[in-house]
């Protein structure tokens, strides 16, 4: 089992670490990597989370060759780059395990092409309905998934959204002209929000107002 665990960690841990082996120097557990050795107790929360998930799945495999693993919000403590690769790495490390993932991370939602992804949303009667994402929705950018799938209507900081509210309140979808759009861009630039011009247009044309 320990040898199997070493091989699994070579798959599931971030590739930039270059994990190689584990050795014991009582009372410490030492992880040997291409980027240097470190004591397990000093590992980041994200690394510890991946190690813990990998170990628990391996233990279950001792009693059952095939089973379903339910993981709730595995994105906790994980850097976005690790969120993008985690599920694919787990599938590669444990090919006989079916994974059911509950997540709010757009990076995890879009991370596996051959998957069934369902978004749970409240309808007008406050009942929860499920919507199966198609391939195009799963291939969307993180911002688009946040907006269209997870219901985050605008994906910029709250303070910036407040500034956009003030600037966009002078313009509606009915009175958009080339001059008005130029004025909008100028106002955003002056407020230090020029990069949010696309979000401002969405806010006016298809957003909350």
- The reply to whether 177 and 140 lie within a common domain is no
Average pLDDT, the chain: 85
- The reply to whether 57 and 138 lie within a common domain is yes
Q: Which residues contact 184 (CB under 8 A, 6 or more apart)?
A: 167, 168, 171, 197, 200
CATH code for position 134: 3.40.50.300
Provide the whole-model pTM: 0.71
Please report whether residue 50 resides in a domain.
Answer: yes
- The reply to whether 103 and 162 lie within a common domain is no
Domain that holds residue 200: 158-205
Residue 209: band (very low, low, confident or very high) from pLDDT cuts 50, 70, 90: very low
- The reply to whether 116 and 140 lie within a common domain is yes
Please report whether residue 164 resides in a domain.
Answer: yes
Please report whether residue 16 resides in a domain.
Answer: yes
pLDDT, tens only, 59-89: 999 888 899 999 999 999 899 899 999 999 9
Give the span between the Cα atoms of 15 and 24, in whole angstroms: 23
């Amino acid at each position: 089992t320990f040898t199997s665990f070493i091989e699994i960690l070579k798959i599931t841990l971030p590739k930039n670490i270059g994990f190689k082996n584990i050795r014991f120097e009582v009372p410490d557990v030492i992880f040997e990597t291409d980027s240097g050795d470190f004591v397990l107790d000093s590992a980041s929360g994200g690394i510890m989370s991946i190690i813990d998930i990998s170990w628990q799945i391996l233990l279950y495999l001792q009693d059952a060759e095939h089973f379903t693993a339910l993981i709730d919000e595995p994105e906790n403590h994980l850097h976005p780059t690790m969120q993008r690769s985690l599920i694919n790495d787990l599938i590669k490390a444990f090919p006989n395990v079916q994974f059911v993932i509950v997540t709010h991370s757009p990076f995890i939602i879009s991370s596996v092409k051959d998957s069934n992804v369902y978004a749970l949303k409240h309808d007008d009667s406050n009942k929860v309905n499920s919507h199966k994402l198609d391939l195009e929705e799963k291939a969307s950018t993180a911002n688009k998934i946040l907006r269209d799938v997870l219901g985050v209507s605008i994906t910029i900081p709250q303070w910036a959204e407040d500034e956009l509210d003030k600037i966009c309140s002078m313009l509606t979808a009915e009175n958009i002209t080339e001059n008005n759009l130029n004025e909008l861009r100028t106002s955003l630039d002056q407020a230090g929000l020029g990069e949010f011009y696309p979000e401002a247009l969405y806010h006016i044309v298809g957003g909350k107002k």
